[in-house]
Copies of this chain bind each other. A is one copy, B any other.
Amino acid sequence: MASIKDVAAEAGLSVATVSRVLNDHPSVSDDARRRVMAAVEALSYRPNAVARSLRTDQTRTLGLVISDVMNPYFTELARSVEEEARALGYSVIIGNADERPELQDHHVTTLLDRRIDGLLVSPTDRGSPRMLEAARAGTPMVFVDRWIPGVDVPVVRSDGRDAVRDLVAHLHALGHRRLAIIAGPAATTTGRERVDAFREALGDHGLDLPDAYIGQGDFQADSGRRVTEGFLDLAEPPEVVFAADNLMALGALDAVRARGLRVPDDLALAAFDDVRWFVHTDPPVTAIAQPTGALGRAAVRALVDRIEGGPGESVTLPARLVVRRSCGEPAPTTQSPHPSPVRRSTS
């Protein structure tokens, strides 16, 4: 591959001058500029970003460590992050933690070793020493979606409290009284907050959330299935299950289907996170939608601000309830077109 030296030789100029025209430095003669451009063209020269980074101490790269790429919510988040970053002249390297702290730590380490300019993270846990140290050491960093209390880093996330309140009101109006939740890991903020918001909303209606109705999931589908089976085995199963993310809702659908039961007749279902497929599931799933694209863009802007020495603004955006049919038919509607027999769990 041609280096800047080759270009300089081809153009009959010094590497300093070549570098200047490549970086649009003002003090270059038109003649020099022309000759350099011609040489660049002739040699198909492309600057080596590695060398440039070593010299300038910036990589124009952002690291994004997310909990699970296979989760459509995070996939969309990653996509919007990349788009906004690209618009601002940055590349992004994604690290998929797969909800595993060691993997998260591996990616944080790798990213830091590569000297990314800033780090966007949606922590899987309360933070590894490496991550906390990086934050303390002043590595530009911002949390997206999930965050770690006590760490002084801007947070960009959505607040689902009002949407959860709307959801519970909706469920209550439909006559449901026994409401359960499939929670995310207690080590994550979203894992805890969604349970708290749910409990609080239940309280508004004089309902409480017994421990038996709090299932411990891990934001992945299998756990949603397992927890739902547990609920169904209860002497008094819940009437509704609220899954704290879309994958656990998928798992809940698996469980219901495996028992030959039906949603919402045997068990109503709602989910945090709205995904496109929810429109076409049987039945369409009522969900809480986050402004995912806006979140990703705001996170990048906050991070780039930090990189440039700014404070990096924290942002909280509201989520909203999208009612579909998985919690029961709204009252005024005519009878469902497929009246299915109400079967009950046999246990």
Does any Cβ of B come within 8 Å of A17's Cβ?
no
Given contacts A283-B282, A338-B340, contact A113 B277 (CB under 8 A): no
Question: How many of chain A's residues have a CB under 8 angstroms from any CB in B?
Answer: 47
* B70 x A76 contact (CB < 8 A): yes
C-alpha spacing A226/B48, complex, angstroms:
44
* Interface class of chain A by DSSP: helix
Cβ proximity bits A265-284 to B, threshold 8 Å, 1 near / 0 not: 00000000000110111110
* Chain B residues with CB under 8 A of A113: 46-49
Given contacts A69-B75, A82-B96, A282-B281, contact A49 B250 (CB under 8 A): no
Does any Cβ of B come within 8 Å of A316's Cβ?
no
Does any Cβ of B come within 8 Å of A314's Cβ?
no
Does any Cβ of B come within 8 Å of A35's Cβ?
no
* B54 x A50 contact (CB < 8 A): yes
Does any Cβ of B come within 8 Å of A59's Cβ?
yes
Does any Cβ of B come within 8 Å of A6's Cβ?
no
Given contacts A114-B49, A115-B48, A338-B337, contact A69 B79 (CB under 8 A): yes
Does any Cβ of B come within 8 Å of A110's Cβ?
yes
Does any Cβ of B come within 8 Å of A331's Cβ?
no
* Chain B residues with CB under 8 A of A281: 277, 280-282
Q: Which of A82-140 contact B (CB under 8 A)?
A: 82, 86, 91, 93-94, 96, 106, 109-110, 112-115, 133
Does any Cβ of B come within 8 Å of A195's Cβ?
no
* Chain B residues with CB under 8 A of A109: 46
Known: A48-B115, A70-B72, A338-B340. 7 other contacts (CB 8 A): A48-B54, A49-B115, A50-B53, A69-B78, A86-B106, A277-B280, A338-B339
> Which residue numbers of A lie inside 8 Å of B, CB to CB?
44, 46-51, 53-54, 59, 69-70, 72, 75-76, 78-79, 82, 86, 91, 93-94, 96, 106, 109-110, 112-115, 133, 221, 250, 253-254, 257, 276-277, 279-283, 337-340
CB<8 Å pairs between A and B, sample of 7: A46-B109, A49-B114, A70-B72, A72-B72, A91-B110, A91-B114, A250-B277
